[in-house]
Amino acid sequence: MEKKAARNFFIWGTVICSAVFIWLTIDTHSTIPKRTNTDKLTDEVVMGKRVWHKYNCNDCHTILGIGAYYAPDMTKVYSSRGDTWLKQFLKNPDSPDPHRRKMPNQKLTDDEINKLIAFLKWVDAIDTNQWPPKPITVAKITGAPLEETAQILKGKNVYNQNRCDLCHRIGGQGGVIGPDLSHIGAKRDTSWLAQLIKNPKSINPVTQMPAYPQLSEDEVQALVSFLAGLK
Amino acid sequence: MTYESQKVAIKYFVISAVFFGLQVILGLLLAAKYVWPDPLIGLLPFNTARAIHTNLLVVWLLFGFMGGAYYIVPEESGTELYSTKLANLQFWLLLIGGLVAVIGFLFGWTAGRPLLELPVELKWAIVVIALIFIFNIFMTMIRTKKWTAIQGMLLGGIVMLAVMWLFGIPFFKNLTLDYYYWWWVVHLWVEGAFELIAAAIMAFVLLKLTGVERQVIEKWLYIEVGLVLITGIIGTGHHYYWIGTPEYWLWWGGIFSAMEPLPILFMVFDTLNHVRHRKLEVKNRLALYWAVGCAIFHFIGAGVWGVIHTLPQVNRWTHGTQVTTSHGHMAFFGAYAMLVLTIVYFALPRLKGLEQFNQKKGFWAFWITTTSMMVMGLAFGAAGLIQSYFQRGLGIDFLTVQGFMRPWIIGVFYTGIAFLIGTLVYVLDVIGLATKESS
Ligand code: HEM
Ligand code: HEM
Ligand SMILES: [Fe+2]
């Protein structure tokens, strides 16, 4: 090929491909309202996005899989954790485990937290072509009963709100300092569990697990029903 | 060196080297934060340190490219620079801008978008600096009668760089559109504008080092850069699989980006070819090593490491894991860090009028940095495979999997120390050469 032919190849190749790319961009824009639910993109969501930027969350976390890889992805965090958990966590992300990777407390105001959650809720509904993928083998490692009674659901909430998962795992989700609770119901009965939660040292004097005196009797009972169901 | 005004390049090269050193120190800090509990969490949390690490990278590469352009353009155009004053002014503006940015990050002054963390005021300041630079380069070029392809490509790359930057400035309400245009900066820089600049600089260095005919070199320049843009522009689609954009991007992005390694492979062949058919005896063997090494590492880091996760079937599992980090490091280092080091080792001795210079330190830097970056890239990659399998494949909790990856990130940290040593050798060598009395 002569130099002149090479130059024409360069110029025309670039021009044609740029044109195709711009055409695809225009078409993509036309699909955005439906795929990202722009009707639900309220001012509150936008303000939540600004909070997200203000604290530079994206340089530790990915969202839609983009950003830094130091902390978990935020794309589906709303549906996997829910409102209450997120509020609690964003207020105080500190972990009792000194070896666990920490999220620094951003000292967010309640208002900022609400906006952030609105943003995350909107992100959760974006059509991402099924990303993140469903795990190939959703290991059936918990024996949780299929029917969740109100009592069990309440117990699960207590578990989440008090962030037991920082130390314990259920079905592979959670921390590694405490024992795995996936089948705890098969090993322990409800009264043993209730005593452990109220006063762990009465069962094992050298345990690292903190006591939870702040839980009401009601909450302990709910939590215990939830745990006892994991067989 | 033939023109007095080319000398402005020296200070660009020195600051480029110093910022390179700082960038790598911050990189080590990031790796340490992955592995051990973080005592600096209140002062310099991970996100701030990462913003500094990546922005310093971009700034030192820009210093290198700009210094390179100020060296190359007068020689290609056969005239002094249009204005040395402007080149000096532009240097100081960029330096001050860079320092303000880093200090700003430390105090939480950020736009909060990965890699584009610069606050909007500083982003506009960069536009002004870029305009001064382009103006100066352009005015020098039009003084000449012969427009060479090397000049055209260099100018094209710089203009594309500046134009794409504009898409990173606005605030987007919609996260999907935010990332859509974010990639117009990030992807169309590294797989577009930077490639143009790199191809032009490399063509110039090879032309001077090997004495191969300009006709041959420039013909290949057109073909390669043509292929880069043909595959790379639509190839942007490999970032549009999962961000809320339509499914047809899986086809467009997958097919076009899978062809991106082709021109990079051509660059390797044709570099080796030029070296084999050289018409001159190569005195600056060091610059030749960096040039050839750059071509090869560019192909490994960008071509091979890029293509393995570019198809949607793979990217689905590896997207946003340490596989990406592995590729990011190998590609940036191979394609652009080594490019800057090539032009510095080519131009700096000439600028100082040194026919001969002691190349020992430069060779040490070459072998240490290339070897340790290769190992570091593999360690990141191993961590990434573990992460893709356990976290995405089996659905195990994020932090639990981070524990499984820990040995490999420890590996990253220690090879990072080796890399830092190589970098420091380079920094000292550049300072040494730059402050040497001209003979
Ligand atoms: C001692 C050497 C280095 C170490 C230990 C290191 C470590 C790291 C770490 C831990 C991250 C953050 C990954 C995350 O987001 O979670 C990072 C990001 C990054 N580093 Fe380095 N780094 C080093 C040198 C370099 C060099 C020499 C370059 C370029 C030539 C570079 C380019 C980058 C880039 C582009 C990113 C963003 C990556 C991405 O978005 O995937 N680093 N580095
Ligand atoms: C010299 C050229 C290149 C450089 C410097 C480079 C650098 C990078 C960086 C820093 C990222 C991470 C961005 C982020 O999310 O923070 C990235 C992502 C990516 N690169 Fe490259 N790249 C280059 C060429 C290529 C090529 C030629 C291909 C494909 C053939 C490729 C394929 C990809 C893919 C698929 C991703 C997305 C990874 C993910 O989904 O997480 N890259 N590149
Ligand atoms: Fe890309």
Domain ranges of chain B: 147-282
In this prediction, residue A208 carries a pLDDT of: 86
pLDDT for residue B332: 98
Domains and CATH numbers, chain A: 36-133 (1.10.760.10), 150-228 (1.10.760.10)
Residue A140: predicted pLDDT: 46
pLDDT tens by residue, B344-391: 999 999 999 998 899 999 999 999 999 999 999 999 999 999 999 999
From the list B179, B237, B393, the residue facing A66 with the nearest CB is B179
pLDDT on residue B413: 98
Comparing alpha-carbon positions, the chain A residue that sits nearest to B51 is: A59
What totals of helices (H) and strands (E) does chain A contain, helices first? 8, 4
pLDDT band at B1 (very low <50, low <70, confident <90, very high): low
**Residue B413 Cα: closest atom of ligand 1:** 5
Rounded Cα gap, residues B22 and B423, in angstroms: 10
B142-165 pLDDT, tens digit per residue, is 998 788 999 999 999 999 999 999
Reported pTM: 0.89
Q: Is B234 on the interface with A (CB under 8 A)?
A: yes
CB of B175 within 8 Å of any CB in chain A?
Answer: yes
Residue B222 has pLDDT above 80, yes or no: yes
ipTM for the whole predicted complex goes beyond 0.85: yes
Q: What pLDDT does residue A153 have?
A: 74
> Between β-strands A66-67 and A62-63, what pairing exists: parallel, antiparallel or unpaired?
antiparallel
Rounded CA separation B98/B376 (Å): 27
Residue appearing with tokens 């490994």: B300
Cα of B206 from ligand 2 centre, angstroms: 27
The yes-or-no verdict on residue B288 having pLDDT over 50 is: yes
pLDDT at residue A186 in the model: 86
The CA-atom distances, in angstroms, between B66 and each of B10, B59, B90, B335 are 11, 10, 10, 16
Distance in angstroms between the alpha carbons of the first and the last residue of chain B = 13
Q: How far apart are CA A166 and CA A137, in angstroms?
A: 24
Return the pLDDT at A203.
Answer: 86
Q: Is the dihedral of CA A72, A74, A78, A83 positive or negative?
A: positive
pLDDT at position A213 is 83
Instruction: Please judge whether B393 and A136 are an interchain contact, meaning their C-beta atoms are less than 8 angstroms apart.
Output: yes
Q: Does B39 touch chain A (CB under 8 A)?
A: no
- B45 pLDDT band, cuts 50/70/90, is very high
pLDDT tens for B68-103 read 999 999 999 999 999 999 999 999 999 999 999 999
pLDDT, position B117:
98
Q: Which of B41, B52, B180, B242 should one mutate to test binding to chain A, selecting the residue with the greatest count of A CBs within 10 A? A: B242
CB under 5 Å of ion ligand 3: residues: B 187
pLDDT of B438 = 67
Is the backbone peptide bond immediately before A132 cis, with ω within 30 degrees of 0?
Answer: yes
Q: What is the pLDDT along chain A (231 residues), one digit of tens a residue?
A: 788 999 999 999 999 999 999 999 999 999 999 999 999 999 999 999 999 999 999 999 999 999 999 999 999 999 888 888 899 899 998 877 778 898 999 999 999 999 999 999 999 999 999 999 988 754 444 545 555 567 787 888 888 888 898 889 888 788 888 899 988 988 898 889 999 998 898 888 888 898 888 888 888 998 998 898 888
Give the residue from chain B lying closest to A72, CA to CA.
Answer: B398
Q: What is the mean predicted confidence (pLDDT) over B40-51?
A: 95
Ligand nearest to the CA of B307: 2
Does the structure show a pLDDT above 90 at B212? yes
Sign of CA dihedral B214, B220, B224, B230: positive
Which has the minimum average pLDDT: A178-187, B15-24, B200-209? A178-187
Share of chain B above pLDDT 70, in %: 99
Per-residue pLDDT, averaged over B19-36, amounts to 98
